[in-house]
Amino acid sequence: MKKPINKNTKLVHLGRDTKASKGFVNPPLYKGSTVLFPTVRSLYEGGYGYNYGRKGSPTYEALEQALNELEGADETVLTPSGLCAITTTLLALLKTGDHLLVTDAVYQPTRSFCDTTLKDLGVETTYYDPRIGANIKDIIQSTTKVVFMESPGSQTFEVQDIPAIQAAASDRGLTTVIDNTYATPLNLTPLDMGVDVSLHSGTKYFIGHADAMIGTISAKGPAAKAIRKTAHSLGICAGPDDVQLALRGLRTLAIRLKHHEQAAIELAQWFETRPEVETVLHPALPSHPDHALFQRDFKGAAGLFSIILKPADQAAIERMLDGLSLFSMGWSWGGYESLVIPFDPRSYRTATKWPHKGQALRFHIGHEDMDDLKADLTAGFERLANDQS
């Protein structure tokens, strides 16, 4: 075809070779540890292209090739979880005496790893204002090696000026990394913007059904080689069943993500009409302070956003949430089910001050009927109002 193929079409066809699969639509699941060789020479030369289950199989290769194409990457490394993708990357790119810059809106387990394991290894971490933009140049130290971004932040939803940060980092020869789980490669391709490494918790939208865990690391240039080497040295590998589920999930990613986006925007707009809500934090809404940046860089949104309630009694808020029937509480997102969690950024932010006094709630909007979700939340607000009166 002369016309460039849309990414939505690529999702259906990437990582598939029906001839090699003897005509079956989906690549087969290869499960195993030991690869057998008929001769000494083939044993040491890896005549089949694979030599041990931990180092890859046709199942792994199918997902890696698909993500390389979607991300524009030289290498993709698969890990057992999103956090493992983050920790493997940072261990590959940093050594004792190095300095790391991390957005203050970062996923909390990332912050914990920086404040414990990396600190114990002699790596210093500085957290920066997510909205710092080009001014990040002012906090780069002589020992800074990596800039870590997450845009939007997965609880507080600040959108980072990726091109400005990338330009400042590139001027100083730094490696840039972004947690791109929210956007997926359909809505943002950071490697095309000059970023070196794009990470995903594929547990979320790649798999999409809350029944498996996987992390992915897609990278270009020297960073890609360093990450692959470290992953092999650490014995990092994802489970083959999870890899196959992630590959299957890619096939419907565009359809699912579009529904998540539309449903979340509709509910976020509904929240803006509720008297109990002080602020809605959704970057696709014009009311969001970073909306212009979001429109410039992102092709779409996801199903995740937060709201800030007006100050209310904590026990009443808990009764409001405990009584919800369609919104479950759980530390994840990206699946078919709607979720809500309360959180308090004041307990962990260090570079920026959280300005809100009311309870923050993060929502992930699944595939339920919108009228049913609104009815569930309306009943919750009624419990909140009754408890306040």
Task: Write the pLDDT tens digit of every residue in 23-67.
Answer: 777 888 888 888 888 889 888 887 678 888 888 888 999 999 999
CB 262 within 8 A of CB 301: no
Give 3's pLDDT tier (boundaries 50, 70, 90).
low
Instruction: Tell me the CB-side half-sphere exposure of residue 369, using CA atoms within 13 A.
Output: 4
The CATH number linked to 329 is 3.90.1150.10
CB 186 within 8 A of CB 254: yes
Q: Do the domain assignments include residue 285?
A: yes
The 10s digit of each residue's pLDDT in 203-216 is 999 999 999 999 99
What per-residue confidence (pLDDT) applies to 286?
98
Q: Do the domain assignments include residue 192?
A: yes
Across all residues in the chain, what is the average pLDDT?
94
Q: Could you say which of 192, 225, 251 is where a domain stops?
A: 251
Structural domain boundaries enclosing 302:
253-388
Residues 221, 328: one domain? no
The CATH number linked to 72 is 3.40.640.10
Residues 243, 350: one domain? no
Q: Do the domain assignments include residue 271?
A: yes
Residues 55, 14: one domain? yes
Greater model confidence, 338 or 14 = 338
What per-residue confidence (pLDDT) applies to 116?
98
CB 351 within 8 A of CB 139: no
Q: Provide the pairing of β-strand 75-79 with 99-103.
A: unpaired
Q: Do the domain assignments include residue 214?
A: yes
**CA–CA separation, 215 and 109 (whole Å):** 14
The 10s digit of each residue's pLDDT in 249-307 is 999 999 999 999 999 999 999 999 999 999 999 999 999 999 999 999 999 999 999 99
What per-residue confidence (pLDDT) applies to 79?
98
Lowest mean pLDDT among 133-147, 183-197, 254-268, 340-354: 340-354
Residues 185, 262: one domain? no
Residue bearing tokens 């947690």: 179
The 10s digit of each residue's pLDDT in 307-360 is 999 999 999 999 999 999 999 999 999 999 999 999 999 989 999 999 999 999
Residues 163, 260: one domain? no
What per-residue confidence (pLDDT) applies to 387?
63
**CA–CA separation, 22 and 281 (whole Å):** 49
Q: Could you say which of 251, 274, 291 is where a domain stops?
A: 251
Residues 73, 211: one domain? yes
Residues 168, 289: one domain? no
Residues 233, 128: one domain? yes
The 10s digit of each residue's pLDDT in 217-226 is 999 999 999 9
CB 329 within 8 A of CB 340: yes
Q: Do the domain assignments include residue 302?
A: yes
- Please tell me the total count of domains within the chain: 2
Residue 1: is its pLDDT beyond 70? no
What per-residue confidence (pLDDT) applies to 38?
87
Q: Do the domain assignments include residue 1?
A: no
Q: Provide the pairing of β-strand 215-219 with 99-103.
A: unpaired
State whether residue 217 is helix, strand or coil.
strand
161: left (phi over 0), alpha (psi -120 to 50) or beta: beta
Q: Do the domain assignments include residue 261?
A: yes
Residues 260, 314: one domain? yes
pLDDT more than 70, % of the chain:
98
Catalytic residue positions, numbered: 54, 107, 179, 204
Residues 79, 210: one domain? yes
Residues 83, 197: one domain? yes
Q: Could you say which of 210, 235, 251 is where a domain stops?
A: 251
**CA–CA separation, 315 and 241 (whole Å):** 42
What per-residue confidence (pLDDT) applies to 47?
67
Residues 211, 264: one domain? no
**CA–CA separation, 289 and 353 (whole Å):** 16
Give 389's pLDDT tier (boundaries 50, 70, 90).
low
Q: Do the domain assignments include residue 2?
A: no
Q: Provide the pairing of β-strand 360-364 with 339-343.
A: antiparallel
Residue bearing tokens 């890899």: 243
Which of 162, 145, 143 is CA-nearest to residue 103? 162
